[in-house]
Amino acid sequence: LEHMAFKGKKRPQGALEQEVESLGAHLNTYTTREQTAIYIKAQSKDLPKAVEILADVVQNCGLEDSQIEKERQVILREMQEIDNNLEEVVFDYLHATAYQGTSLGRTVIGPSMNAKKLTRADLVDYVNSHYKAPRMVLAAAGGINHKIDAVNAKTVSEICSKYLYDKCPAVAGVGPIEQIPDYNRIRSAMYWL
């Protein structure tokens, strides 16, 4: 899915890239053993547009059979590269040993048999069951003063209602945020104690 994320139904890949670039933003995705992240780095004034783009990427992922087959070949090549990278192999064995019987014990990219067998229906089922509000987090950071309201709940709710499936998002962190004292700096200044 990470490979298919930017090949949307509403915005073709070229149009998406051009739109992100026109904002001076950066759109990317990555997968770890614990999460898949789709993120955009943009100016704070472009928050509504950034959320719209993220919502489009998540909700309108183009899952055409021809693209799936093309990406399947890319993934199989990546798997070969990983198998030839001793550091990756060692970490995979380390995780398999340390986290036996859990999802953390599996490789990030999965077994090659999965990549060879995966169908469009499998991907659609996965998106429909995992790309839902209770399993997702929309977070915004940066471009803020040290003492402001963390989130304007009304603005976030309006943006989410307009662009995301979940019409009633949970909004966390509403209230004043104050800069926390840098205790490391204080501790360093008190080295003589």
Q: Tell me how crowded residue 117 is: count the other CB atoms within 10 A of its CB.
A: 10
The rounded distance, in Å, linking the Cα atoms of 31 and 34 is: 8
User: 135 with 160: CB under 8 angstroms?
Assistant: no
Amino acid at 123: L
* DSSP code, position 106: S
Q: What are phi and psi of 124, to 5 degrees?
A: -60, -45
Identified catalytic residue from 2, 19, 52, 71: 2
Active site residue 2: yes
Burial of 57 (0-12, 13-18, 19+ CB in 10 A): buried
27: helix, coil or strand? strand
Element (H, E) at 40: strand 36-41
Single-letter amino acid code for the residue at 78: E
Chain centroid, CA 129 distance in Å? 16
- List active site positions: 2
